Amino acid sequence: MQILLFILSLAIIIPSFVSASSPIVTIKNGTVQGRHSSEWNQDFFLGIPYAQPPLDDLRFRWPQSINMSFQGVFDASRYGYSCYQYGSNFNLSEDCLTINVVRPSGYENKKLPVLVWIYGGGLTLGSTADPQYNLSGIVKTSTLTDNPFIAVSMNYRLGVWGFLNTPVVHAEGSSNAGLLDQRLGLRWVQENIASFGGDPTRVTVWAESAGAQSIGLHLVSYGGRNDNLFHAAILESGGPEGASLNTLPFYSAATDNLTRTVGCPRTWTDPSQLACLRNLSSEALFASNYTVVWNPIVDGNFLIDYPSSLLAQDKFIRVPLITGANTDEGVSFSVQNLNTTTDVYNSLFYWRNYALSPPSIRRLLQLYPNKPATEPPYSNHANVTYPEFGQQWRRSAAIGGDLVMIAQRRKMAELYSKAGQKVFSYRFDTPLYNATVPGSVKHFDNVMFSFQNISGAMGPLPQYQYYRTLSTGIGKLYANFVGTHNPNGVNATNGTGLPY
């Protein structure tokens, strides 16, 4: 395994579109017209549907391919609707399964490699329209490094719309619909990206958090069957084993609460219950304000077993891999107001629905004694606590960060290295100037750097210039990896000056 050490962040770049010429591309379903940005020297094709709208009887089902051509030229000049979610200010609709393509200008006659972004957000939040995920910065960096690529992003269904779990949903083969949205989006790339100048045989998938979890599940999907939908992967702070995959009975109470709220039959084995949920208006279902976390399940189809079992059986897709995490992931994955060992012990019974057994919890507490100086935030080497969070908060952060992010990063690197794959592992260790816990490098802090999008990290000039240099270096690493499957590049140069 090759170790890649670097430090990551993001600036909110909102591209200004200048209508020089409107690029036109013909894909399987017809002609699409995008927008050209002279500022970025890029073409944008936004909001292209890649599936039939998941409405009415298609609600909660696996996505269906578009089976008809566009009427006239499709206007791909702006983002489509974002998928339903709570706590955002995006324009929401169930008709949200759209894909975006950003390509650098001047490479029309070349077959460029492709980088596909899948957003995170706990499978409850996220949108390609989020300015944090603007693709222009990293596409521009790729051209500056002479490793130009085309970037793609897609929306997928979230929450109950993408992951409703009931016996009837399971019986009709509709579990994990949100993941199948992503898979159909990747299929769309295979069928259409050549029309934009992309090479469908050189596709790298890239994601963070729940997006990286999604990629991890695609790596073990169908028992590790490789359908060549992608050929390399970048997993930032996530993977197949970090989130709990509960069984159907776990969702019995959640489904009962939902159906009682919206007035549907409450017998969850009754087909009329699902029919009722499908007949609700989008507004009525959304108004239920139902915010239970719905996660993927082992459905016997897309996921034939738990990811840990599939990985142990070598049932995973072999691809070159970058996998990494942030130094203080546990700051984001901890329980506060824990002051005693008993508090920590009790919290682990319900924490993140892991259903840890008493022997497992006791073993964890043995492996993670309460030694604040050796616990997150790791930049604080003093034997001090943070009373505002709880006397044993740092201990909880150490356990939480390893369980959710750090352990699986190490495991993925180990397994892929043993499988003979190129593996590059990083630890992101640059704190933001305005960190909520001073000196900490928590979950998601890296994303602005990855996207070359660091205006959101504005601070004192020396610090900001360092952020800019670091962000550009990371962009070069990723461009090298997308082009050569090696972040060092073909000549072992990466432009960061960091050791390997």
Q: What is the set of active-site residues?
A: 209, 329
Q: In angstroms, rounded to a whole number, what is the distance separating the alpha carbons of residues 344 and 349?
A: 9
The rounded distance, in Å, linking the Cα atoms of 46 and 37 is 13
Tokens 């060992």 -> residue = 341
d(CA 211, CA 75): 28
Q: Could you give the CA distance from residue 400 to residue 432 in angstroms, rounded to a whole number?
A: 21
Separation between Cα atoms, residue 114 and residue 109, nearest integer Å: 15
**CA atoms lying within 13 Å on the CB side of residue 466:** 11
Secondary structure of the chain as H, E, C letters: CEECCCCCCCCCCCCCCCCCCCCEEEECCEEEECEEECCCCEEEEEEEECCCCCCHHHCCCCCCCCCCCCCCCEECECCCCECCCCCCCCCECCCCCEEEEEEECCCCCCCEEEEEEECCCCCCCCCCCCHHHCCHHHHHHHHHCCCCCEEEEECCCCHHHHHCCCHHHHHCCCCCHHHHHHHHHHHHHHHHHHHHCEEEEEEEEEEECHHHHHHHHHHHHHHCCCCCCCCEEEEECCCCCCCCCCCHHHHHHHHHHHHHHHCCCCCCCCHHHHHHHHHCCHHHHHHCCCCCCCCCCCCCCCCCCCHHHHHHCCCCCCCCEEEEEECCHHHCCCCCCCCCHHHHHHHHHHHHHCCCCHHHHHHHHHHCCCCHHHCCCCCCCCCCCECCCECCHHHHHHHHHHHHHHHHHHHHHHHHHHCCCCEEEEEECCCCCCCCCCCCCCCCCCHHHHCCCHHHHCCCHHHHHHHHHHHHHHHHHHHHHHHHCCCCCCCCCCCCCCCC
Contacts of 55 (CB under 8 A, 6+ apart): 94, 95, 282
Phi, psi of 363 (to 5 degrees): -65, -40
